[in-house]
Amino acid sequence: MNKLAVSNLDLYYGENHALKDISINIPSRQVTALIGPSGCGKSTLLRTLNRMNDLVAGVKISGTVAFEGEDIYADIDVKQLRMRVGMVFQKPNPFPMSIYENIAFGLKAQGVKDKAVLDKVVEDSLRGAALWDEVKDRLNSPAFGLSGGQQQRLCIARAIAMEPEVILMDEPTSALDPIATHKIEELMDELRKKFTIVIVTHSMNQAKRISDRTAFFWMGELIEQGETHQVFNHPQDSRTRGYVSGEFG
């Protein structure tokens, strides 16, 4: 079952045609990796999936992006959409507040005041991000005191707290060391049991390790997509073969 379905999507930044007739299905409760060289449209596509591109001046979009069959570019509540389709950015971006308040922030903004409810969500979310055991004794400490890898897992926990259905990840491990990267990848493997995940990555090995499906982009075009083992082991397009083999990229 597809959670998201992109059909004939074109996106322009002013005169720059950044995405060209993109059609791709994102299956439910799988990890879909978007790969390709810098500037090929991976992150641009990711941001269309929860309308983050709305925040960029001069953007023009045509085509459809359907979330559970509903076109998200129709007349919908964008705030609600972004709660259901969360995002984790390349650089960890914890709020300048305590670990606890980072997780509780979104719920409090929705009017949740019951401390028992907040406590449970904070613990459940930190457990879901494999961070609870590391921070349970310092929940009131500043989030900036965490390591980079812990901060990124905190950001994932913050997204989980809003009970999204989809988590978008834009190169979530590019700023992390190998040990922290491994922990995030283990976490994604666990999260796929409950969430649909779309990840942009420049690491071919990471895409091979963690994704169920892979889509290869080149100069704003979607060149090839399919099951990850197929794209990497039996690519159909010469540009895909060159990129996944490291010949160019």
Residue 3 in any domain: the answer is: no
Of 58, 16, 59, nearest in space to 40 by CA: 16
Domain harbouring 172, CATH code: 3.40.50.300
Q: How many domains is the chain built from?
A: 1
Residue 62 in any domain: the answer is: no
Residue 116 in any domain: the answer is: yes
pLDDT tens digit at each of 249 positions of the chain: 799 999 999 999 999 999 999 999 999 999 999 999 999 999 999 999 999 998 888 899 999 999 999 999 998 999 999 999 999 999 999 999 999 999 999 999 989 999 999 999 999 999 999 999 999 999 999 999 999 999 999 999 999 999 999 999 999 998 889 998 999 999 999 999 999 999 999 999 999 999 999 999 999 999 999 999 999 999 999 999 999 988 665
Residue 173 in any domain: the answer is: yes
Residue 58 in any domain: the answer is: no
164-178 pLDDT tens trace: 999 999 999 988 899
Which pTM does this prediction carry? Answer: 0.93
Which domain covers residue 207, as residue numbers?
30-50+77-244
Q: Residue 36 burial (CB < 10 Å; 0-12/13-18/19+)?
A: buried
